[in-house]
Structure 1
Amino acid sequence: MTTHPMSSPHPGTPDPTAPPTGEVLDVVGIGIGPSNLSLAALLAGAERTAGPGAPGGDGVRAVFLDRAERFTWHAGLMLPDVQMQVHYLKDLVTPVDPTSPYSFPAFLVENKRFYRLLVTGRSKVPRREFEQYCQWAAERVPNLRFGVDVRAVDWDGELFTVETGEGTYRARNVVTGTGLDPKLPACATGFEPHRVFHASQVLAQPRDFTGLRVAVVGGGQSGAEVVHHLLSTPDRPAAVLWGTSRDNLLPLDDTPFVDELFVPNYSTYFHGLPAARRAALVERQRMASDGVSASLLEAIYQRLYDLEELDGLDRPCRVLLGHRLTSVTDAAGALRTGWLAGDGSGLTEDVDVVICATGYRHDLPAPLHRLRELLVPGGELAVRADFSLEWRGPEQNRVYVQNAARHRFGVADPNLSLLAWRSATIANSLLGFERYDTGAVRAALDWVGHPAADADPDHDVPMAVLGHR
């Protein structure tokens, strides 16, 4: 893969990514995952296309910081052969800026892959390739600084102060894109990290599962990826126990009309719904984002067939449907796991390792904890339509959040499908004008209101009607 040095400012222009000198920035971005990388690329694009003196021509003075030494994405779960669940054109920029030099097609062309990818027939690429693309973009997008640990964000009455290991930045606005914290069941905490750990740490250190009994907790995409890996790796465990509270291993619902939950129109509509209705819809639409790719379910089933029917193994993987992990205890060198079924019955199974694919915690991002009293007086993050938080400070100073508003924007928020649209919304807000079109798009469904939505959160609304155009 061809690489180039990161972009640098014009000669004679102060470098906004340099260590703090007291200069006030327009925005400091905390964390450089796909979300803030997308925003940085769009802010650079706004400056690139604006003429001198035009709105946005002077750009937004920004710096994006990350403690990692280089861009990585879910490194602990970058298992062989895992595939994306979204189309590769839903990249950092293309949905809102298709001419951007930071697009996935630009990455393919520069690396001489364009035609060959088309020949593969894929619409969803391996996760490793998306990470390669993001690393390629991170080498080109200006104003990124890796190896900088952000410790806290404070408000001094006039500006935000961003405390880092190399000094303090001062900015009018901040935007967090630090990702979510892994969530373990309460009963699975306090054990040695090589015995009980979150799925996001599977590849964090060398592991040899040969001859071990491994329990995998969770029936979503990550749990399925871990199970497939365990059944396929040369150091295959002696036995896998796969437990899920779901009634079956349910597929991702990515059929066409359900996929329209992942267009801007629906997220905008969802944001305007009352809280009870939003909560009910997120739960009912869970399989639109938390289900397992059908191709992966097929691969696991075929792998089990081969191991049992061709290799003659006796149940290399047992699946516990409708069972919730309730206890993990030490038992003569083993881990005794307790499981509770929906009918109230229970069982125990002894294993050697427990891997929890139990999701992530949606909470106030850690760097913002000092601002908690200014941001969440009612206990829940109130996220505006531009992804800034309601707070007690001046209107012109804002705290934006990336991937932290599922309760306000729906199941699409933590998904990459609306990555570029969300970043464009934030970019427009920072620029003070609509540089990127984030309005309604052409779609088959129109999301319309219904009086029952306010009165009864379990009523079958919102209604979707065929688009009029």
Structure 2
Amino acid sequence: MQATIYDVAGIGIGPFNLGFAALAESLPLKSIYFEQRPAFNWHPGMMIENTTLQVPFIADLVSAVDIRNKFSFLNYLQQHARLYQFCIKESFHITRKEYNDYCNWVIGQLPDCHFSHRAETVSYNAAGGYYEITVHDMIQRQIKTYAAKKLLVGVGTSPALPAFAQQCTKECVFHSSEYLRRKKYIPDHTTVTIVGSGQSAAEVFYDLLQLIDTKHLKLNWITDAERFYPMENSKLTFELTSPDYLHHFYGLPAHKKEEVLDRQYMLYKGINQELIDAIYDTLYLKQIHDGRAPAVNIQANCHVSRITGSKKEGFELALYHNELEQPFELHSNIVILCTGYKYEVPGFLDEIGNRICKDEQGRLAAAKNFAVDRNGNEVFISNGAIYSHGFLTPDLGMGPYRNATILNSILGTTHYRLDKRIAFQEFGIPGLKQQTVYEHAVS
């Protein structure tokens, strides 16, 4: 019996690959998707009560390119008899919990999504012209092989731990992705230090601030950044999230892209203004209520170079004040590292390394259609293209546009009409067609 050859196999089922599966569901494509986790649970360690997405609800899995799609967030609300309540609530931003529920609602309608299935290796069958994916089915405890003409790699990112924390006990010095799992073990009468200045750091600090009196905590909030930047959300700045800017950025020279990304820090790593306000207001009200300043220490311009100590004795953080140019130390019992995430080339691509394009730094080099194979239309990535396509890459709102671009490429036709001009401002030189100078691959 001839084994099934799928049109597309997706590896990883996060929001981006899930959005692809949702858009592809009604198309004449035979697809299958694998995820090593037992179920979809989006950033469970940071599912803090009432925390919201930083993008509006319209940045769901499908609406940006197919507003009538049955997998839209608005249809999810309607199917759960909450549409009118949501409208009355008058908020564009939904909680992470509701977003997670929405994604699971979509998954429940997509039988081709397989969890507890870990991709081990990918090879290329030259005679058949397809890829073979070796998958460990952790439910049946079997190794299975699947064949597909195209691959969609969406394995996401992993916590970025700074070098100074590599040798520390993970029980007391841990990444924010572990926060909720470890929060209940934070003892009373202890000092907690949060390192970082982005949204995650602010959410952790604010959450612990609610417990500062009942658990008698002392909180340090430390960042290397010059200040605690709010996320830039003016309307003209929002045009940088448009297809116009994506095409402009893609056409820049590689060295210029690195410079631009360094300057765009507050566009995608800033803190919601409402959260900054809530933190300040809480501190102010606690000071009035208690008659003294809360037991908090908030410091920018402080670089952490080393952490030493133990669970029993606590930890000493060696810091350097960037403006005063002086070292100093802080003592802490718990250190929470809100230091972001990193993308790594997945190991299962090693066997097809000769078919994959990389840049000089060894990063996957994505073409304009997000393909990373040398033929430009076989292996696609749904994340990890920040150095080719810009800061929009990890943005949830970018997912539908990218997925529609990939689907158009796979289908060989413009099934999804994608707006290319929506911004009022020019990002290049008016009247001059920008030449794409980004090299697809150097290796």
Normalised by the size of structure 1, how large is the TM-score? 0.85
**Distance change >3 Å, CA 308–CA 176, structure 1 → 2:** same
Aligned to 1:184, the other structure's residue is in SS state: coil
Output the CA distance in 1 between the equivalents of 2:298 and 2:182.
26
How far apart in 1 are the matches of 2:429 and 2:367?
19
Corresponding residue of 1:284:
263
Secondary structure at 2:146 match in 1: strand
Task: Tell me, in whole angstroms, the C-alpha distance in 1 between the residues paired with 2:39 and 2:216.
Answer: 33
- SS of the residue corresponding to residue 25 of structure 2 reads helix
Deviation, structure 1 residue 362: 2.7
Structure 1, unmatched stretches of 5+, are 1-13, 15-20, 48-58, 455-469
What SS class does the counterpart of residue 97 from structure 1 fall into?
Answer: coil
- Selected match of 2:61 from 92, 100, 114: 92
Aligned to 2:403: 423
Aligned residue among 279, 289, 298 for 1:319? 298
SS in 2 for 1:152: strand
Q: Is 1:69 matched up with 2:50? A: no
Aligned residue type for 1:220 = G
Residue of 133, 153, 164 corresponding to 2:135? 164
Aligned equivalents of 1:182, 1:152: Cα separation in 2? 23
* Aligned partners of 1:44 and 1:142 also within 8 Å: no
Q: Give the Cα–Cα distance (whole angstroms) in 1 for the partners of residues 359 and 54 of structure 2.
A: 36
Q: Distance in 1 between matches of 2:215 and 2:418?
A: 48
Deviation of the 1:438 alpha carbon? 1.9
In the alignment, what sits opposite 2:158?
Answer: 181
Q: Does 1:365 align with 2:365?
A: no
Residue 121 of structure 1 corresponds to: 90
Establish whether residue 203 from structure 1 lines up as the match of residue 176 from structure 2. no
Question: Helix, strand or coil for the counterpart of 2:219?
Answer: strand
Change in CA separation of 1:395 and 1:147 when aligned onto 2, cut-off 3 Å: same
CA distance in 2, matches of 1:292, 1:138: 30
- In the TM superposition, what whole-angstrom CA distance separates every residue of 1:54-96 from its partner, at most 9, and x where no partner exists? xxxxx11110111222211011110112111111011100110
Runs of 4+ residues over 4 Å off in structure 1: 234-237
2:122 to 126, 147, 153: 153
Q: Distance in 1 between matches of 2:64 and 2:98?
A: 19
Change over 3 Å in CA distance of 1:138–1:238 after alignment to 2:
same
Supply the distance in 2 between the matched residues of 1:237 and 1:325 (Cα, whole angstroms).
Answer: 25
One-letter amino acid of the counterpart of residue 42, structure 2:
W
Counterpart of 2:427 in 1: which secondary structure?
strand
Is 1:307 the counterpart of 2:286? The answer is yes
Shift of 1:399: 1.3
C-alpha distance in structure 1 between counterparts of 2:121 and 2:240, whole Å = 35
Choose which of 422, 428, 437 in structure 2 pairs with 1:442. 422
C-alpha distance in 1, partners of 2:63/2:355? 35
Aligned CA distance change for structure 1 residues 357 and 206 (closer, same or farther; 3 Å): closer
Name the aligned partner's letter for residue 246 of structure 2.
Answer: S
Alignment partner of 2:426: what SS?
A: strand
1:385-396 equivalences in 2 (<5 Å): 385-391=368-374, 394=375
Correspondence 1:212 to 2:190: yes
- Measure, in 1, the Cα distance between the counterparts of 2:163 and 2:216: 25
- Aligned CA-pair RMSD: 2.1
Is this contact kept in 1: 2:168–2:307, CA < 8 A? no
- Offset at residue 370 of structure 1 (A): 3.9
Shift of 1:291: 0.5
Q: 2:222 matched to which residue of 1? A: 243
Correspondence 1:349 to 2:330: yes
Quote the Cα distance in structure 2 between the aligned partners of 1:377 and 1:172: 24
Q: 1:371 to 1:351 in 2, by over 3 A?
A: farther
- Structure 2 stretches of 5 or more lacking a match? 138-143, 436-443
Q: Which amino acid aligns with 1:175?
A: L
For 1:187, the aligned partner's letter is F
Name the residue aligned to 2:388.
Answer: 408
The 5 A counterparts of 1:266-277 are 266-277=245-256
Look up the SS of the partner of 1:216 in the other structure: strand
Q: 1:366 Cα shift?
A: 4.1
2:367 counterpart residue number? 384
Which deviations, in whole Å up to 9, do the C-alpha atoms of 1:150-194 show, x marking residues without a partner?
A: 223233434322121131112111111111111011010122221
- What is the number of equivalent residue pairs in this alignment? 419
Aligned to 2:438: none
Aligned residue for 1:149, secondary structure, equals: strand
How far residue 436 of structure 1 moved from its aligned partner, in angstroms, is 0.6
Alignment partner of 2:13 out of 32, 43, 55:
32
CA deviation after TM superposition for structure 1 residue 390, in Å: 4.0
Q: CA deviation at 1:350?
A: 1.1
Mean Cα deviation higher: 88-97 or 209-218 = 209-218
Segment of structure 1 superposing worse, 95-104 or 278-287: 278-287
Q: What is the one-letter code of the residue matched to 1:434? A: T
Contact 1:304–1:316 at 8 Å: present in 2 too?
Answer: no
Superposition TM-score, scaled by structure 2 size: 0.89
User: Is the CA contact (8 Å cut-off) linking 1:40 and 1:142 kept in structure 2?
Assistant: no
CA distance in 1, matches of 2:344, 2:182: 27
Shift of the 137–340 alpha-carbon distance from structure 1 to 2, 3 Å rule, reads same
Residue deviations 1:350-409 (CA, integer Å, cap 9, x gap): 111111110111332343344445422742321111111143xx555x111112111111
Return the alpha-carbon distance in structure 2 between the equivalents of residues 277 and 377 of structure 1. Answer: 15
1:155 to 1:340, Cα distance in 2 relative to 1, 3 A = farther
Deviations 1:196-224 (A, max 9, x none): 11101112356232222111110001111
